[in-house]
Amino acid sequence: MEKNNYIIYAHRGALAYAPENTKIAFEKALELNANGIELDLQKTKDGKLVIFHDDIIDNKSNGKGKISDYTYQELLNFDFGSWFDSKYKNEKILLFEDFAKEFLDKDLTFAIELKVLGIEENTLDIINKYKTHDNIYITSFLYEAIENTRELNKNIKLSWLVSKINKENVNKLLKIKGQQICPKAELVSKEDIDLANKNGLGVRLWGIYNEEIMKRVYKFNIEGMTVNFPDKLYELIKKEKM
Ligand code: G3P
Ligand code: CA
């Protein structure tokens, strides 16, 4: 793989350095040389798309309860930064539309993860309103979410999050004309990646929790990986090129 095209996806923004999935985490990612952004989408009680990973807000804010039980306006009352560091006290939950307005026209690759079913159409509408290029993957662990996305849009890139690559997963993804398969880094092998590549699929890895895993999987023929520390992957790429 030509490493010039290697995508450093900042996982939920630069989550090792800032409260995940917030605006500051995405800005930090760009500062640290990420050329891709990964984020998670959830739906509020009033049907708005917000960028958030968990089903409940207890661990990543000063509030409690299910994200889907709050309206967007109600969520704005909570602090989504202090749990990470008091210096991020005023960080608010981020509306996907506000993210799209500010980031989607940038020269970056995006992995937009659908955490729940039923948000496919709204996600595509927002993307279509703000995108200026096609380096955007709709991604999910939920096969049905990407299957529904394909029914709504014939051209958008799809990437499927799986534990392991196998023949069955590859065929399921090819059936809906997906582009990329995303196995867990710790479980992947060169043979699995060859299988995906042979069938015309690109590979993005997830679950790179430390530098040791990052270094082990770096040499594989992949399109990129989702990392918590984009700066470290950037340094590794630079070093390997020298
Ligand atoms: O890149 C995919 C990765 O983000 C999947 O894990 O738990 O962060 O959604 P999670
Ligand atoms: Ca994710």
- 191: CB partners within 8 A, 6+ apart: none
Our answer on whether the CB atom of 206 is closer than 6 Å to any ligand 1 atom is yes
pLDDT value of position 1: 40
Our answer on whether the CB atom of 161 is closer than 6 Å to any ligand 1 atom is yes
pLDDT value of position 242: 77
Cα separation, 214 vs 80, in Å, equals 28
102: CATH: 3.20.20.190
Q: Using CA positions, which residue lies closest to atom 5 of ligand 1?
A: 206
Counting atoms of ligand 1 from 1, which one is nearest the CA of 204?
1
Distance 109 CA to ligand 1 centre (A): 16
In this predicted structure, the answer to whether residue 59 has a pLDDT above a threshold of 90 is yes
Q: What's the whole-model pTM score? A: 0.97
Cα separation, 70 vs 78, in Å, equals 11
Our answer on whether the CB atom of 38 is closer than 6 Å to any ligand 1 atom is yes
Q: Quote the number of domains for the chain.
A: 1
* 59/5: higher pLDDT: 59
Counting atoms of ligand 1 from 1, which one is nearest the CA of 40?
9
State CA 174 to chain mean position distance: 21
Give the confidence band of 148 by pLDDT, cuts at 50, 70, 90.
very high
In this predicted structure, the answer to whether residue 240 has a pLDDT above a threshold of 90 is no
Give the confidence band of 139 by pLDDT, cuts at 50, 70, 90.
very high
Cα separation, 166 vs 195, in Å, equals 8
Counting atoms of ligand 1 from 1, which one is nearest the CA of 115?
9
Our answer on whether the CB atom of 113 is closer than 6 Å to any ligand 1 atom is yes
pLDDT value of position 136: 98
In this predicted structure, the answer to whether residue 218 has a pLDDT above a threshold of 60 is yes
Percent of the chain exceeding pLDDT 90 equals 96
- Give the domain range for residue 226: 3-241
pLDDT value of position 5: 83
Our answer on whether the CB atom of 147 is closer than 6 Å to any ligand 1 atom is no
Percent of the chain exceeding pLDDT 70 equals 98
In this predicted structure, the answer to whether residue 2 has a pLDDT above a threshold of 60 is no
In this predicted structure, the answer to whether residue 233 has a pLDDT above a threshold of 60 is yes
pLDDT in tens, 22-34: 999 999 999 999 9
In testing the pocket of ligand 1, which one of 7, 53, 139, 159 has its CB within 8 Å of the most ligand atoms?
Answer: 53
